[in-house]
Amino acid sequence: MRTRVSRLGLAVVLLAGSGLMLFVAPSSATMPMQKKAKELGFPAENCLYCHAEKLPKKGAVTYNDRGQWLVDQKDSRKAKEVDPAWLKDYPADKK
C-alpha cells in the first residue's frame, strides 16, 4: 500500500512539473544575441554581461543594470525582442 502511494505521489509530482514547463516563459536572451553583441564590438564574453547569473534558467532570469536597461528599451520601443545594437545607447558605458 505504501509503495503504491509513493509511486502515485511521484507520478503526480512529475506530471505537474512537466505541465509547469509548458507555461514558463522562455529566457529572452539567446546565443545569437550574444554573438551579435560581440560582432558590434561589445565585450559580451558570457551571460554575465547582461544577466546576474552565469547561466540563466528559463523562468528564473535576473538581469544586471545593463540587462534591465535592455528589457526596458524593448518595452519602450514595443519590440518583439532585444536588439544588441541598442547597447550603443546604454548610458552607463559612456561614463
Which pLDDT does position 77 carry in this prediction? 96
Torsion sign, CA atoms 20, 81, 32, 39: negative
Residue 69 to residue 63: CA distance in whole angstroms: 9
- Average pLDDT of 71-87? 95
What 8-state DSSP symbol labels residue 80?
A: S
pLDDT at 71: 95
For 8-23, the pLDDT digits (tens) are 666 665 665 555 444 4
**pLDDT on residue 28:** 54
Residue 76: pLDDT over 70: yes
Cell numbers found for residue 1: 500500500
Range 74-78, long-range pairs (CB < 8 A, 24+ positions): 74/28
